Structure 1
C-alpha cells in the first residue's frame, strides 16, 4: 500500500490553474461599455426628447435693434479754476443725439461749448474735488445743453475726460 500511495503521488500531476486574464478583460470592457452607454444616454446623444419639449431649455431672446443715434464729439477744454490760478480742469465729452437731429446740434456746438465753459468756471473747487460731484455736474451740464439745443435733441452727455491738475 505504501507503494500505491507513492505511485499515486508521483503519477498524479497537479491540475494547471486557469488564467484570470479573460475575467479581468471582461470586467474592464464591461466598465468601459457601461460608462460609455451611461454617458450617451445622460448627455442626450441618443434617445433624447425633441428640443422643443425640453422643459429646461432656455430661449435666448433676440436683442432689440440699437436706437438710431449718433455721437458728437466736443472739443477738449482746459479750464482755469477761479479759486487758484495754478489749478486747471481738463474736460472732454461727447453728446448722444438722435441721428435726425445731428446736423442741428452740430450747428449749435459753439453755443454748447460756451455754456459748458461758463458753468465749469463757476463751479466751486470743493465741489469738483468731491467724489460724487461728477454725477451732479453731469446732470447740470446735460440740462443746460438740452436748454440750448431744444428738448429731445440731446439724449445724454458722455464725459470722456475729467481731470483736475
Structure 2
C-alpha cells in the first residue's frame, strides 16, 4: 500500500508540475497582451494624435496668387491649301506666386505675346481639339512663357476664353 501511495503521490506531483507551467504561460501571455494594447494606445495618443495637430497649427496660410493679363490674341490656324481658313481667339491670364512678380513680368509681355503668336500660328484645329489638346496647349504655353520671363517663373497659364472659328 505504501507503494501505491507513493505511486499516486508521484503522479499527483507530476500533474502539478505540468499544470503550473500552463497556468504561468497563460498569465504571461495575458500580461504581455495587455501591455501591447496599452502601449499601442498610448503611442497613438502621444505621437500620432498630437503630431497631426502640430502640423496643422504650424502651416502658414497659403498666399493668394497674383494674375497678369495677356493681351487678347487672334491667329489663323494652319490648314491644307483650298480649305477654309480657321481662326483661334484666346484670352489668357498668367498666374504667378507673388505680387512682386507681376511688376517684373509686365515689361516682358511683348516678348510673351510674340512667343505665343509664333507658336499658335503653327497649330492645326485638330491639335487643340478636346480636353487633351487644351491641356497640351496649356503645358506648352507655360513652358514657353517661363523661358521668356526667366529667372521669374509663371505657375500656370489660364484660359479665359478659347474660340475656334
**Shorter-chain TM-score tier:** 0.5 to 0.7
User: Conserved in 2, the CA contact under 8 Å of 1:82 and 1:122?
Assistant: yes
Higher helix share: 2
In structure 2, what is the Cα distance between the partners aligned to 1:85 and 1:77?
Answer: 20
CA deviation map 1:90-138 (0-9, x unaligned): 1011011221221110000011011111111112222122441000110
Give the alignment's TM-score, normalised by structure 1: 0.57
In structure 2, what is the Cα distance between the partners aligned to 1:68 and 1:128?
Answer: 30
User: Conserved in 2, the CA contact under 8 Å of 1:138 and 1:157?
Assistant: yes
Paired residues for 1:79-98 under 5 Å: 79-83=75-79, 84=83, 86-97=85-96, 98=98
Instruction: Confirm whether residue 104 of structure 1 aligns to residue 107 of structure 2.
Output: no
Instruction: Confirm whether residue 77 of structure 1 aligns to residue 66 of structure 2.
Output: no
Change (3 A) 1:130 1:107: same
Structure 1: state its 5+ residue gaps.
1-58
> Partner residue of 2:129?
129
Give the alignment's TM-score, normalised by structure 2: 0.57
> Partner residue of 1:119?
119
Paired residues for 1:5-154 under 5 Å: 65-83=61-79, 84=83, 86-97=85-96, 98-154=98-154
Structure 2: state its 5+ residue gaps.
1-52
Which secondary structure state, in structure 2, belongs to the residue aligned with residue 108 of structure 1?
Answer: helix
Which secondary structure state, in structure 1, belongs to the residue aligned with residue 116 of structure 2?
Answer: helix
Query: What is the count of residue pairs matched by the alignment?
Result: 106
In structure 2, what is the Cα distance between the partners aligned to 1:158 and 1:67?
Answer: 18
Report the RMSD for the aligned CA atoms in angstroms: 2.1
In structure 2, what is the Cα distance between the partners aligned to 1:94 and 1:144?
Answer: 14
> Partner residue of 2:161?
161
In structure 1, what is the Cα distance between the partners aligned to 2:130 and 2:149?
Answer: 29
Which secondary structure state, in structure 2, belongs to the residue aligned with residue 122 of structure 1?
Answer: coil
